[in-house]
């Protein structure tokens, strides 16, 4: 099976102005043998949209589990296949004369770009046709890719609030989930509506990307959702 899915299968990414592809794996420690979201909090796990939309279907969940087992069992094979798929998408972008967006952490939080370079020898940040963006709870990734074309939005949870504020102080962007209507500002920082599109590459700098609580997050009691 293909590793990357078209963004049109996702209610939010289909709003993107650029054609988008996403890599969906089994999040956190879903399959026990590996944890693809090492910084996930209890609130994050409980509110995860992994099973939202098409993810509610057992065949879709099984496909994501199979991909995760592939990643865990044959790292080199996984990234060689991912490279071939990215090359095909890049060819499509060149043919269309328009950039294509790629989100490698649709339901995971690992440094795929570094692993692609390590296992397949390709530095995708050098591509003029593919633009990469993701959300992450890993502060080291935010620092590592600051100033590059890899657009990372730090994701706030009930356990990393202070780190999230530090990212904002450094000029970065932070995604925060709110229970009701999005505020105009929070803790002195402007809040933009992150639900209008998933394509974070065009966001203003040094803002909070506000997201309204959806699905299981509406019942959050951990503090993951800001009330």
The DSSP annotation for 84-151 comes to: HHHHHHHHHHHHHTS-EEEES-SS--S-HHHHHHHHH---GGG-SSEEEEEEES-HHHHHHTTTSS-E
pLDDT in tens, the chain (227 residues): 899 999 877 777 888 899 999 999 998 677 778 899 999 998 988 887 654 555 445 788 899 999 999 999 999 999 999 999 999 999 999 999 999 999 999 999 999 999 999 999 999 999 999 999 999 999 999 999 999 999 999 999 999 999 999 999 999 999 999 998 999 999 999 999 999 999 999 999 999 999 999 888 889 999 999 99
- Give the pTM: 0.91
Question: Residue ranges per domain, the chain?
Answer: 4-226
CA distance 133 to 152: 6
The answer to whether the CB of 137 falls within 8 A of the CB of 109 is yes
CA distance 177 to 193: 11
How many degrees, rounded to 5, is the angle at CA 197 between CA 105 and CA 85? 40
Q: How far is CA 131 from the centre of its chain?
A: 13
């Amino acid at each position: 099976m293909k590793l990357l899915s078209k963004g049109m299968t996702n209610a939010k990414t289909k709003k993107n102005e650029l054609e988008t592809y996403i890599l969906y794996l089994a999040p956190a420690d879903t399959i026990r043998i590996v944890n693809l979201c090492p910084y996930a909090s209890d609130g994050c796990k409980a509110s995860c949209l992994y099973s939202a939309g098409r993810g509610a279907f057992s065949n879709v969940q099984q496909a994501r589990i199979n991909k995760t087992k592939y990643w865990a069992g044959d790292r080199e094979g996984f990234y060689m296949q991912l490279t071939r798929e990215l090359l095909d998408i890049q060819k499509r972008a060149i043919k269309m004369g328009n950039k294509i967006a790629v989100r490698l952490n649709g339901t995971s939080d690992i440094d795929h770009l570094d692993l692609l370079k390590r296992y397949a020898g390709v530095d995708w940040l050098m591509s003029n046709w593919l633009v990469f963006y993701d959300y992450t709870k890993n502060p080291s990734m935010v620092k590592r890719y600051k100033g590059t074309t890899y657009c990372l939005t730090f994701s706030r949870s009930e356990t990393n609030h202070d780190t999230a504020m530090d990212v904002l102080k450094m000029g970065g962007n932070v995604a925060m989930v709110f229970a009701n209507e999005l505020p105009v500002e929070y803790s002195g920082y402007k809040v933009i509506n992150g639900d209008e599109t998933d394509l974070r590459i065009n966001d203003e700098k040094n803002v909070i990307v506000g997201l309204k609580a959806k699905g299981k997050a509406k019942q959050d009691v951990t503090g993951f959702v800001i009330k």
